[in-house]
Structure 1
Amino acid sequence: MMGSRVQVFLLVISIQILLVAAQTNEDFAVLKSLKDVWDNTPRNWEGSDPCGNGWVGIQCTNSRVTAITLGSIGLTGNLSGDLQLLSELQILDLSYNKGLTGPLPASIGSLKKLTNLILVGCGFSGPIPSAIGSLPRLLILSLTSNSFTGPIPPEIGHLSNLFWLDLADNMLSGRLPVSDGTTPGLDMLVNMKHFHFGKNQLAGTIPPKLFSPNMSLIHVLFEDNNFSGSIPSTLGLVQSLEVLRLDRNLLTGPVPSNLNNLVHVSELYLSNNQLSGSLPNLTGMNVLNYVDMSNNTFDESEIPLWFSTLQPLTTLKMENTQLKGQVPVSLFSLPLLQTVVLRNNQLNGTLDVGSSHSDQLQLIDFQNNFIVDYDEGGGFKNKLILAGNPICRETGQTKTYCDIQQSNSTSYSTPQKNCVPSGCRINQISSPNCVCAYPYTGNLSFRAPSFSDLGNSSIYTSLEESLMNSFRLHQLPVDAVSLSNPTKNADDYLVLRLESFPSGEDRFNRTGISAVAFVLSNQTFKPPHNFGPFVFNANSYGYFAESTGHHKSSNTGIIIGAAAGGSVLLLLALLVGIYAFRQKRRAEIADKQNNPFAAWDPRKDSGDVPQLKGARSFSFEELKKCTNSFSEANVIGSGGYGQVYKGVLHSGRLVAVKRAQRGSMQGGLEFKTEIELLSRVHHKNVVSLVGFCFEHDEQMLVYEYIPNGSLKESLSGKSGIRLDWTRRLRIAIGAARGLQYLHELANPPIIHRDIKTNNILLDERLTAKVADFGLSKLMGDPEKGHVTTQVKGTMGYMDPEYYMTQQLTEKSDVYSFGVVMLELITARQPIEKGKYIVREVKQYMDKTKLLYNLQEILDPSILVTPLKGLEKFVDLALSCVEDAGAERPKMGDVVKEIENIMQIAGLNPNADSASTSSSYEAVSKGYDHPYSDESLFVYSGTFPPSKIEPQ
């Protein structure tokens, strides 16, 4: 009887195990089907538990496969249609496996949770399946460098979250699809940042409907296709655009004049088309670095004088563009100019480079013109090419400038770091650290660099540092990187050979290679701004630390497996018990992850389980790992609360982790209240909460990572970002909209209570985001209109009415925002050397004079351009800092007024921001103002303050 009960018990446990493991087994079955059709799978792809056994390239959450990253490991075969059964899959990256061939299965459209589909540098062919348009969460779609054919599926237009679309270097044909009311199209992708379609066989006109003012595009790369017809004028409406490549097509007609409105474009390629009409006027493109309009049929024209106004210009290429007349000497005085190529034109007279030419000027190529003389008094010592001009052809000149000596490459190679290289084995290479190893190699191709001087070693040094910082940040096993052989190829891409050297061993394993490949293929690595968009093309790696991977089963293996099976049956009862315990533990862990507050202890005055919207709980170990054990190298900020660390989550997402120091931690109830409040905030101009950690006696908040730091850093010059008047207006409207959301749309409404330039962050597009809700309060009773609370905030920004009465209202934020507005135009701290910014502006202001007579206190860096709307901006700021809250506008009214000011300045209020940046003693009138003549303070204490400590 007892034996029967044991058998029944074991049977029940076995059934439970099967039920719990059913989904995991389904994922295993899919991976096994892939293993069966692929060669060279990783050696450890054995057993029936890919999650528990840590299969290389497989990442899991709650025992479900969520990511497959297998870059550069030599896979060969096809992509199985069974992939659709991985219902939790979020990332699929099989890049740099050239042996992966065949079509992309339509069943891939069933992966509804997929966010990243990256197949760079494989051998896939056939049409791109329209089912890709059924992936609602897709953010990155990169199919670069394959052999895909046929048209771009219009269904891609359904991917509303997509921001990176790279289909370059395939054999795609047909027209660019746009919507027509019944079918979707690419024009629907208003959140798209990147259209990379270069090096295909796309044809037809570029549809005017493809572009609109509400698009967020920063890169339009259409080079080397068969596009015909004219450049659509709607392209000039995409104010966010930074890089435009239309070169090597069949485009005709004049260049639209409104292209001049693209004030953020830094690289412009229109060469090798059949464009006609007059030369386009580019004076509005005031950040333009690189211009190539060569080989078109423009009307005959002298070199426009406005060329000399493009101060950031590094490269001007106008080969075969009907230019004629004398070359103005002012052209060569541009401070950053590196290359001028004006060959095959009708330029004549004497060439005078002048003595004030740029120190960076490396190449002047005027081959095949009509230049009869050259004034050598300017002392230009670098490459000058005048071959094919009368000065060389008819006078018999033998000067070096009569020889063709241009080169598109340089011999740069990363130098070794104060060490002596030792002899290495065959195929090994000595790293910059003089360690012999087998590096992972490939070519970095930059599609639109802003410079043309390939001999400047400092730019490669910055790229090397950026690469190593990225690899360290992601904790990759890379000891050093080496760059070499910079070359401009036929596509006008800058190509660099990259060697990545392993750390601790002389070779990488498959995990290390896949991790490095993922960082490069997933665009996780962000190169320095002047390098622009890139693609990495990896070489196959044949030196893995472990032995070769999976091969097809043999009869011997089957026999051995059958023999071993009998022994396994004898141990089944014991294993069932162990397995059940293990599954129970996994279930508990999964439950904790699904229910982040399973361990929340109400007995510790922390209240009920928090109710969150979108935020998740992180374990201490997760955040420790993503911040490299809270390394000092990852610290990006600090304050009274604690330190802020840059981190990289398992998914590759960058985050900022705010870790409270022991003495500043809140009580459990206060911490719960804060994360509940933050989890409700979702707006493009408010920093979003990703999650938190509340364990190991730790309190940590995890925010989205904002790369360009605070507005205060940019205004002070610390960030290196140049904020012109246009950018400051866009920052003002962004921050105002964020505050308007908190006051009027958040549920319940929120008073921030600490608005200042330190708490306004700038993302990669310089979009303003309101941050740091540590002092925030929910809006009080609408009947009362205020919250009575102790005074907290930052001196210099604090509402004097709140300071005197302890009654906090949304108008307190309006006051702080008014101070921020004044800080935007003066770049001065609110209290600086005894001067309070509000009093300063009022003291200098004279409404009868230009710019209200404020030139002396305005930031000099904005005085270089017309300050349209500045007077109204000052009027609005001063209305925000009225002493009485009732006299201040609401944030909704502030937003409307800034929008009007932007229109006066000729700006679209709905366009994104730009990219890649005598002592006065106030006379006292008896008013007890809270701001003294001391420096900037933070006040967070009881009222009235007995002592205020400097920040």
Structure 2
Amino acid sequence: MDSRLILVSLLIVFIQISATWARTNTDDATALVALKDLWENYPPSWVGFDPCGSSWEGIGCYNQRVISISLNSNSFSGGIPPSIGNLSKLYWLDLADNQLTGTIPISNGSTPGLDKLTHTKHLLLESNRLTGSIPSTLGLLKTLEVVRLDGNSLSGPVPSNLNNLTEVKDLFLSNNKLTGTVPDLTGMNSLNYMDMSNNSFDVSNVPSWLSTLQSLTTLSLRNNIINGTLDFGAGYSSQLQLVDLQKNYIVAFTERAGHDVEIILVENPICLEGPKNEKYCMTSQPDFSYSTPPNNCVPSVCSSDQIPSPNCICAYPYMGTLVFRAPSFSNLGNSSYYISLEQRLMQSFQSQQLPVDSVFLADLMKDSNNYLQVSLKVFPHGRDRFNRTGISMVGFALSNQTFKPPSTFGPFYFNGEQYQYFEGVYAFRQKRRAERATEQSNPFANWDESKGSGGIPQLKGARRFTFEEIKKCTNNFSDVNDVGSGGYGKVYRATLPTGQMVAIKRAKQESMQGGLEFKTEIELLSRVHHKNVVSLIGFCFQLGEQILIYEYVPNGSLKESLSGRSGIRLDWRRRLKVALGSARGLAYLHELADPPIIHRDIKSNNILLDEHLNAKVGDFGLCKLLADSEKGHVTTQVKGTMGYMDPEYYMSQQLTEKSDVYSFGVLMLELISARKPIERGKYIVKEVKIAMDKTKDLYNLQGLLDPTLGTTLGGFNKFVDLALRCVEESGADRPTMGEVVKEIENIMQLAGLNPITESSSASASYEESSTGTSSHPYGSNSAFDSSAGYPPSTVEPK
């Protein structure tokens, strides 16, 4: 036989065998490989040519067919590959929150497009940079149930055949550049939630077809040019909860008697020119409050760290946040939705035979993307804590979405917290509690002001305030002085008799420590004096109160500036200055404080900015202190923030200075990106490592950078190199904070800045050693004129 014929025969056999071994349909594999070729920063698990067999991240398969693509928040850029249209069994397509450009691809002859996805139910393309028009052929995809095209730059009229989508429950077209008439959605009888706000539609009357949509719960057409009279007659859906037409041109409103629908007509002529006290002319904050009630039992009084379950059993729950991206209801105060969610969760856990006793829901919140966030606690069955297998099974069910919520909640993802309650973790803590039991009650009871030792706190630069003094300078804790609240308690702005403005933190009952711990803490905090660390002014321990008085830092937290909430714009040079100040403050805590302090919760919300935008480290106290007798260190009980936590801690259960270095590295990446460490399930450290290419300009990280950084980024590459050294998996491979300070000083010189004039050196700015004397804290002439969040916990603006 001819050798070439033998070779061809062997090749055919090899291809047949490969096709047999492969677990992905050939057409589907080809489509995804084309996507891989187009997007350079694809996930690292996308290896080979068999997406189902190799378990590519974000790709779901069934019977060798690709049925779901969930690739939101990956910073993908470029166009949407038309080859996706060849995935004939795809029912879920989620490419939201990326940086995709170009038009929505449609088929043309032999070229596929998204209009070929005839089995798709969820089409999620929101928060990208898509342009062009909405293809009319999308109106042929009659299986669609959720359509999110909001937050793009789509233009032109909405296709008239969109009302063919009779199964669609949620339709989001807001925040685009759509023109023409408001589309007639008559026939979309399944529609629950419709939002077409912030577009450029032609002047039109209130659509008459709204009354035909009998499943509609929420309608938003704000900031368009809707005029005339809103005639809210009896024909409207009995399920309707919210009609938001603010910032339009409504001149009259006729309402039906006895309706309980929230109507918002703020900034319409009817409100601007007529009576302002009508309910529809006032915005009200919806009642988001809900928490799972006890199941016909009396909640137990639990030991520290344990929480009573809905079945009133004390245990250590697994906690996290469920994030629902397209809920079809607007009345977030309606408890029936959450009861159904609890029931569905328990049904899912029980059907998978998971060791779950009950679930607890609370802390409802809508974020800037209109996503609904719900705090979840999952309690173990038959014991007070999960073992590692149980946590893995529960986490898998939620993270990999084997759990399906009620349809009204729409698509979701889950952010789980680190579980720290395995057997043996708390043995040391329990022993310490027992040893200190007799000292916990009230170690300040025997204080004698005439003595200089014994039970009296040895304070350096801080003073004791009476409760009456605190009441007086806060106007008896007046709401006028209330600037926010956090996990520790409320924060009040106050002025001392000396004229100095301060921030006063009043502990709530559940945040209070034992008296001895409080005493130890204020002794420690009073010895901390550095220009880049928030200073303790004084305290109050009287009448059952635990109150701390801090210097007032006027420009809020770094987090507020990066998010744009504070109105402060931080360019590249200012961010380098913030990084240097923060590093110096943290280096002081590690290397010059006596005893050295491990912060344990470095994050952007705990870096505060003074009137000159100098950084100050806060929140290194106000938690239970644990002494390390071997090293002479003082660290705080582990209450770090997800995304900043040292991965080495999960293995060793030990915190070191290198744990703070890891958190600081994450903070550095946050400075260049203005992104949260974990945003929609994506981790900034991983995203940077995936996208990074040192052979390209700015290491190929342009897609991750904050646009407000500016264009002159001197020292940028070395800054990224340093950040990635800080987030090395092994603490031994990370620099010390003293080394970090020196490297940032060098980077500032590359950026044309003088680190000496920008801020004095770490050693020079150490205002006094812990063994010296201090100037009185009220001798400062600083004047502070605005509010900020104060340590230790997140303080949200009121």
Q: What's the TM-score, normalizing by structure 1? A: 0.39
Name which one, 1 or 2, has greater alpha-carbon Rg.
1
